[in-house]
């Protein structure tokens, strides 16, 4: 679609006046800027977006422009995980992207500032920019400031507690491993204010991708949202908003559009950076979707090929002790990128929203040796974990297309995990078994029919992984699923199994007691059952009852259109 001229909005004097604008001033506006704003007061991740939106309107007006606000749903994974509505989270990514596209074109925008936030709005922020190629950039509302307590294993983390600590503490309380008083202290202290989940979970993974790909200003991926729930937005967020408006006008003056920035080499930079920082498995789904919008030929094996060469440098949760704001305090994502650039891992010549190249942006960023003693970011020569020890794409007779293994720097002790299948056709049934103590060392928990179609909406199995960690089973029990995982999740985890069970994938053939073999070095996931037996079992397979999805609903549309996780669950 060809970009409509903003003169259509400017000349609609009767509409402009009725909406409360001055038609004469509107006619002279230097630019009509779409402010893509996924605000809600329902949760901490995006409850600061309205204040940021109002600030942007004022800042754009000061430049002689007019900001027009476009809304979209902002779904909090923290509120939906483990509930019957969990399948709405991933679906919301594409709905939000569509909302921003519609609002931009329908209101004749010249440019776009997209405010991201919780997980799916992070991906949805980049998708319409790539799709429309309108002048624009991304602004992050910020991550949550961490908390602290003075007891148990959490005391060692200092002021770095995140929602992961509370969730694992809840599971530990259920298992009788901590007292009720200790759990209450965790609950009261873990989140002193608003913002997205505070470590290298999916929201911060996506903010990192936005910055590393060049579509967010430097230092924009790691700032805290506020200094407490009762106050306003953090001063670093306000400073980023001011700088972002200035940057937007420079982009328009210089004629630099998103697809000039979001090139194949820029995607390689983003993949490299997020691997070095220990990003979430959800990055695969979202990178594939964003690449499709940018018309960049990045597939799942290409992400694997880039990521497997990158050592783990950032000591952030879930694989380390630190929160994202600890990284921000020493310089943010540019500190990691400087180390990667110096080691030859990044393309320094790519353009960014500053109007400068990546190398120019990083020129004055201090090197690790100039930071002094710290263990938040490690050098390439002495990483937290060597390359190929974070997320890997696997295949095998259980995943003919692909699946993702998440280790987060933790290696399987013997290189290969062989376990006995415990099969569940829902997350709820798996949860009952774990809580009842029925899952023991050496089990492989198989959760199926929770994929993009089966879920529907591919919910996250994070509550199961938290239960396993909280009960001390994280290193001895594997979990495999055609669903997905939160960035909070850690352990021996395989998700995104494709094809999914509800589409006739061989995960539907697994039975209790079967042997399952995970080989990270060979990158395979196999059911140790003869091919003929798998074929015999699948011959009697029937698709799930379609009536479980209400006709005409969002899910009804989604299951008819969505691709497999192998292609990014695009619609």
User: Cα separation of 244 and 234, whole Å?
Assistant: 15
| 376 within domain boundaries | no
Q: What secondary structure letter does DSSP report for 419?
A: E
User: Cα separation of 188 and 529, whole Å?
Assistant: 49
| 141 within domain boundaries | yes
Distances (CA, A) of 73 to 173, 226, 297, 516: 34, 22, 29, 39
**Of the candidates 233, 281, 268, which has an alpha carbon nearest to the alpha carbon of residue 115?**
233
Q: Are residues 140 and 212 in the same domain?
A: yes
* Residue 105 CB-density burial (10 A; 0-12 exposed, 13-18 middle, 19+ buried): middle
Helix (H) or strand (E) holding 445: strand 443-447
Distances (CA, A) of 553 to 2, 161, 453: 31, 39, 14
User: Cα separation of 4 and 18, whole Å?
Assistant: 22
User: Cα separation of 367 and 384, whole Å?
Assistant: 18
What pairs with residue 525 in β-bridges?
Answer: 518
User: Cα separation of 215 and 333, whole Å?
Assistant: 13
Query: Where does 471-530 have alpha helices with state H?
Result: none
Bridge-based pairing of strands 443-447 and 524-527 is: unpaired
507, 475 Cβ separation under 8 angstroms: no
| 237 within domain boundaries | yes
> Any idea what the CATH number is for the domain that residue 506 is in?
3.50.30.80
Q: What secondary structure letter does DSSP report for 8?
A: H
Distances (CA, A) of 317 to 85, 160, 178: 26, 9, 21
| 163 within domain boundaries | yes
313, 248 Cβ separation under 8 angstroms: no
User: Cα separation of 113 and 121, whole Å?
Assistant: 13
The two three-digit tokens of residue 240, written as one number = 């980023």
What pairs with residue 68 in β-bridges?
Answer: 34
Tell me how crowded residue 557 is: count the other CB atoms within 10 A of its CB. 15
175, 470 Cβ separation under 8 angstroms: yes
| 386 within domain boundaries | no
Q: What's the pLDDT score for residue 326?
A: 95
Q: Are residues 295 and 355 in the same domain?
A: yes
> Any idea what the CATH number is for the domain that residue 303 is in?
3.40.50.2300
User: Which of 161, 176, 191 finishes a domain?
Assistant: 191
Q: Are residues 405 and 304 in the same domain?
A: no
User: Cα separation of 124 and 160, whole Å?
Assistant: 28
Q: Tell me the Ramachandran region of residue 261: left when phi exceeds 0, alpha when psi lies from -120 to 50, beta otherwise.
A: alpha
Q: Are residues 228 and 341 in the same domain?
A: yes
Q: Are residues 308 and 201 in the same domain?
A: yes
| 2 within domain boundaries | no
User: Cα separation of 353 and 344, whole Å?
Assistant: 22
243, 138 Cβ separation under 8 angstroms: no
Range of the domain at 305: 7-145+196-368
In order along its 571 residues, the chain shows pLDDT tens digits of 344 579 999 999 999 999 999 999 999 999 999 999 999 999 999 999 999 999 999 999 999 999 999 999 999 988 888 888 999 999 999 999 999 999 999 999 999 999 999 989 999 999 999 999 999 999 999 999 999 999 888 999 899 999 888 888 888 898 888 999 999 999 999 999 999 999 999 999 999 999 999 999 999 999 999 999 889 999 999 999 999 999 999 999 999 999 999 999 999 999 999 999 999 999 999 999 999 999 999 999 999 999 999 999 999 998 899 999 999 999 999 999 999 999 999 999 999 999 999 999 999 999 999 998 999 999 999 999 999 888 999 999 999 999 999 876 555 666 899 999 999 999 999 999 999 999 999 999 999 999 999 999 999 998 899 889 888 898 899 999 999 998 777 789 999 999 999 999 999 999 999 999 999 989 999 999 999 999 999 999 998 876 788 999 999 999 999 999 999 999 9
The two three-digit tokens of residue 227, written as one number = 């200094």
Q: What's the pLDDT score for residue 414?
A: 64
Helix (H) or strand (E) holding 446: strand 443-447
Active site residue 486: yes
Q: Are residues 328 and 427 in the same domain?
A: no
| 1 within domain boundaries | no
User: Reading across the β-sheet that carries 135-139, which strands appear in turn?
Assistant: 66-71, 32-37, 111-115, 135-139
| 104 within domain boundaries | yes
Q: Are residues 407 and 538 in the same domain?
A: yes
Q: Are residues 230 and 329 in the same domain?
A: yes
Bridge-based pairing of strands 135-139 and 66-71 is: unpaired
Q: Are residues 34 and 166 in the same domain?
A: no
Q: Are residues 94 and 157 in the same domain?
A: no
User: Cα separation of 218 and 362, whole Å?
Assistant: 9
**Of the candidates 389, 393, 426, 396, which has an alpha carbon nearest to the alpha carbon of residue 411?**
389
Q: Are residues 364 and 228 in the same domain?
A: yes
For helices 264-276 and 300-307, angle between their N-to-C axes, nearest 10 degrees: 50
Bridge-based pairing of strands 135-139 and 111-115 is: parallel
Torsion, Cα 440 442 447 451, to 10 degrees, reads 140
Bridge-based pairing of strands 443-447 and 417-424 is: parallel
Residue pointed to by tokens 């929602």? 163
Q: What secondary structure letter does DSSP report for 538?
A: H
Q: Are residues 433 and 554 in the same domain?
A: yes
One of 486, 489, 498, 564 is an active-site residue; which one?
486
Q: What's the pLDDT score for residue 1?
A: 36
Number of domains in the chain: 3
What pairs with residue 26 in β-bridges?
Answer: none
């Amino acid at each position: 679609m060809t970009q409509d001229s903003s003169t259509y909005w400017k000349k609609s004097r009767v509409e402009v006046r009725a909406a409360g604008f001055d038609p004469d001033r509107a006619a002279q506006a230097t630019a009509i800027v779409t402010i893509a704003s996924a605000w809600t007061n329902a949760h901490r991740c995006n409850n600061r977006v309205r204040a940021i939106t109002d600030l942007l309107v004022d800042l754009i007006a000061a430049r002689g422009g007019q900001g027009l606000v476009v809304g979209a749903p902002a779904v909090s994974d923290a509120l939906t995980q483990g509930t019957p509505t969990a399948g709405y989270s991933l679906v919301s990514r594409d709905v939000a992207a569509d909302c921003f596209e519609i609002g931009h074109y329908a209101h004749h925008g010249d440019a776009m500032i997209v405010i991201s936030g919780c997980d799916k709005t992070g991906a949805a922020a980049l998708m319409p920019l790539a799709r429309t190629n309108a002048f624009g950039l991304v602004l992050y509302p910020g991550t949550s400031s961490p908390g602290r307590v003075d007891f148990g294993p959490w005391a060692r983390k200092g002021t770095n507690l995140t929602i992961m600590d509370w969730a694992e503490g809840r599971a530990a309380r259920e298992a009788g491993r901590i007292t009720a008083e200790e759990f209450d202290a965790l609950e009261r202290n873990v989140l002193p204010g608003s913002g997205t989940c505070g470590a290298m979970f999916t929201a911060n993974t996506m903010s990192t991708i936005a910055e590393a790909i060049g579509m967010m200003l430097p230092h924009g991926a790691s700032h805290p949202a506020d200094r407490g729930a009762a106050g306003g937005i953090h001063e670093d967020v306000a400073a980023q908003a001011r700088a972002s408006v200035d940057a937007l006008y420079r982009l328009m003056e210089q004629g630099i559009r998103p697809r000039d920035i979001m090139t194949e080499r820029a995607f390689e930079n983003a993949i490299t950076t997020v691997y070095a920082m220990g990003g979430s498995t959800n990055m695969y789904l979202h990178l594939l979707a964003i690449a499709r919008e940018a018309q960049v030929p990045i597939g799942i094996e290409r992400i694997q090929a880039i990521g497997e060469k990158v050592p783990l440098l950032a000591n952030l949760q879930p694989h380390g002790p630190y929160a994202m704001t600890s990284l921000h305090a020493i310089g943010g994502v540019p500190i990691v990128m400087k180390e990667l650039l110096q080691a030859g891992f990044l393309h320094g010549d790519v353009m960014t929203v500053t109007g400068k190249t990546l190398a120019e942006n990083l020129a004055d960023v201090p090197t690790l040796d100039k930071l002094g003693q710290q263990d938040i970011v490690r050098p390439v020569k002495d990483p937290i974990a060597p390359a190929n020890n974070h997320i890997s794409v696997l295949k095998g007779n259980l995943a003919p297309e692909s699946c993702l293994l998440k280790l987060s720097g933790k290696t399987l002790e013997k290189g290969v995990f062989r376990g006995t299948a415990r099969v569940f056709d829902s997350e709820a049934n798996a949860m009952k078994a774990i809580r009842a103590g029925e899952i023991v060392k050496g089990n492989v928990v198989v959760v199926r029919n929770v994929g993009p179609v089966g879920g529907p909406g591919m919910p996250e199995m994070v509550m199961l992984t938290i239960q396993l960690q909280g009960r001390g089973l994280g290193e001895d029990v594997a979990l495999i699923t055609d669903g997905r995982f939160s960035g909070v999740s850690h352990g021996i985890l395989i998700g995104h199994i494709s094809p999914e069970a509800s589409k006739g994938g061989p995960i539907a053939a697994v039975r209790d007691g079967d042997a399952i073999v995970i080989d990270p070095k060979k990158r395979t996931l196999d059911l140790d059952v003869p091919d003929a037996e798998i074929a015999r079992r699948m011959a009697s397979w029937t698709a799930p009852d379609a009536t479980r999805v209400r006709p005409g609903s969002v899910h009804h549309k989604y299951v008819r259109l969505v691709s497999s996780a192998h292609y990014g669950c695009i619609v």
